[in-house]
Structure 1
Amino acid sequence: MSTKSFIYSFLASMLTVTLGFGQFENLSLERPTEKSLAKKAILPGSLFLVGLLLSDSDFERNFQAGLQDELGNDFNTSLDDYIRYAPIAQMYIADLAGVKAKNHWFDQTKNLVLSAAITQLITAGMKKAIYKERPNAFNAEAFPSGHTSNAFANATVLYEEFKDSSALLAYSGYGFATATGALRVMNNKHWLSDIFAGAAVGIIVTKLVYHFDYLFRWNPFKKKNDFTLLPSYSDGAMGLHLVKRF
């Protein structure tokens, strides 16, 4: 099997495992319990363990070298800078389209911001503590992948909001997140282990935010249905606009 074929198989497997565990989680009780929290930790825990086992291994280094040889050592795209935000756009567009979500848009945004902030803090802290060099030797902040952790956090917010009303929409964010991770490897900015660990961080943080969201419920827009949010992207930054409907 060629390196390129292997990465396609790896991505398909990673996506399949994510979707499979999503179905497994649906068997948990509605109210937050220790048992349901343990179920939610199985997937990210498994991904992180795989990342640890792969990190600095001969397999990982040989895989990266073989992939770069097949890509010509000059592959470069900035698509991964954008598609990690796709699940956010999907969520707000679905809200505008009237797709039933778990939460009001304000609560969605609150959970999204909390997930993104905590994920960023944990990822940045681990990068500095572990000090692993990137495959392109640009710096020593490879583990875990920040783009990937951010992408999977966003995808998990989308999943949590629409898993009970639109399975296709809920799971679609993981496709964008997986593609983000793949492109980080193909761009020679991350190793395979960085991607697994990044996915684990993004998923578990967001699962915890949703598991405990009953502790910080506050919504000044709950009874104001004429307001909504629209996603925007300008000058390399993702933004949101509060829009009033007349």
Structure 2
Amino acid sequence: MNVNLNYLKKIPYLLFMLGLYFFTVMPAEAQNDSIVFIPATTLTVKKRPVFVKQLIVPGALVLAGAWANKRQFEKSVNKNVLFTVGHNFHTKVDDYLRYAPIAELYAADALGVKAKNHWFDQTKNLAISLIITDFVTGKLKKLTNKTRPNGGKIAHSFPSAHSSMAFANATVLYEEFIDTSPVFAYTGYGFAVATGSLRLMNNTHWLSDVMVGAAVGMVITKLVYLLDPIIRWNPFKDTNNLVILPKFDDEGYGLILSKRF
């Protein structure tokens, strides 16, 4: 990683400004909650909003992204971002930051934090969400063939795959813990916003790429959870000492088998 230290001083300000846009829609009650993990014995499931209401945020991102796409506005946004961090800014942190919500998910499971689903159902929903998200994002990239702001040889800028994956991971974390620890459930979106922000700082994506990528990951994951009762299948439900974790990296997907003794 080659980063000028002078540029690092400017990152928190830009992350804050971009993150503020995404989190202005966060419910007020979640913002006021403290991070308290509710044990299973005291779990009270809150009434969830209807699915249509859950699409308001990703729908707004799609509309805003469609409006900004290839307009002078998003060109000026990227120009201002580069002016803030510097044209020589480059980091690979975003390659790893998108996986942070997954680490949070399984760390919470390991610590015994009450979640909505069994670890296998979490893994199943996560895998299905990421596979579909990757497929849809890839198809949209080839269909639009939008040139990246840095003029890279491989176009495929729209939408951002890093953003779609990061927000898919964050939405899984949200769905699993929103009823037991609302603030913790939202933390994954913080990492997702940071991932999208770094894509702009690296000059590899336009603003509309990040916004629509975020919407793709959120909508697909919410659809997977909506259909979860239909596709419920768990051969490990009565097995407490065996854990299968997903593995995602640049080389592909995989599974890690872990047995507790």
> TM tier, shorter chain?
0.7 to 0.9
Identity score, percent: 50
- For the Cα contact (< 8 Å) 1:184–1:190, is it kept in 2? yes
1:47 corresponds to which of 57, 61, 81: 61
**2:156 aligned residue:** 141
Q: Is 1:88 matched with 2:95?
A: no
**2:22 aligned residue:** 14
- Tell me: CA distance 1:219–1:181, structure 2 relative to 1, closer, same or farther (3 Å): same
- For the Cα contact (< 8 Å) 1:15–1:178, is it kept in 2? no
5+ unaligned residues in a row in structure 1: which ranges? none
1:78 corresponds to which of 74, 92, 95: 92
- Tell me: CA distance 1:55–1:14, structure 2 relative to 1, closer, same or farther (3 Å): same
In the TM superposition, 1:195-214 aligns within 5 A as: 195-214=210-229
The letter of the residue matching 2:61 is: L
- For the Cα contact (< 8 Å) 2:118–2:237, is it kept in 1? yes
1:224 corresponds to which of 239, 256, 261: 239
The letter of the residue matching 1:127 is: K
- For the Cα contact (< 8 Å) 2:19–2:190, is it kept in 1? no
Inter-partner Cα distance in structure 1 for 2:159 and 2:106: 28
Post-superposition Cα deviations, 1:92-117, rounded to whole Å, max 9, x if no partner, equal 11111000010000000000000001
Inter-partner Cα distance in structure 1 for 2:127 and 2:216: 15
2:196 corresponds to which of 181, 202, 215: 181
Instruction: Tell me the secondary structure at the aligned position of residue 189 of structure 1.
Output: coil
Inter-partner Cα distance in structure 2 for 1:22 and 1:141: 39
Inter-partner Cα distance in structure 1 for 2:250 and 2:144: 31
The letter of the residue matching 2:21 is: S
Instruction: Tell me the secondary structure at the aligned position of residue 24 of structure 2.
Output: helix
Inter-partner Cα distance in structure 1 for 2:149 and 2:249: 30
Identify, as 1 or 2, the structure richer in helix: 1
Aligned length: 236
Inter-partner Cα distance in structure 2 for 1:79 and 1:133: 23
- For the Cα contact (< 8 Å) 1:150–1:202, is it kept in 2? yes
5+ unaligned residues in a row in structure 2: which ranges? 1-9, 31-44
- For the Cα contact (< 8 Å) 1:92–1:231, is it kept in 2? no
The letter of the residue matching 2:63 is: L
Inter-partner Cα distance in structure 1 for 2:58 and 2:28: 10
Q: Is 1:116 matched with 2:145?
A: no
Inter-partner Cα distance in structure 2 for 1:234 and 1:56: 31
**2:180 aligned residue:** 165
Inter-partner Cα distance in structure 2 for 1:36 and 1:21: 18
Instruction: Tell me the secondary structure at the aligned position of residue 240 of structure 2.
Output: coil
- For the Cα contact (< 8 Å) 1:131–1:140, is it kept in 2? yes
- For the Cα contact (< 8 Å) 1:47–1:197, is it kept in 2? yes
1:67 corresponds to which of 41, 61, 81: 81
Inter-partner Cα distance in structure 2 for 1:21 and 1:205: 25
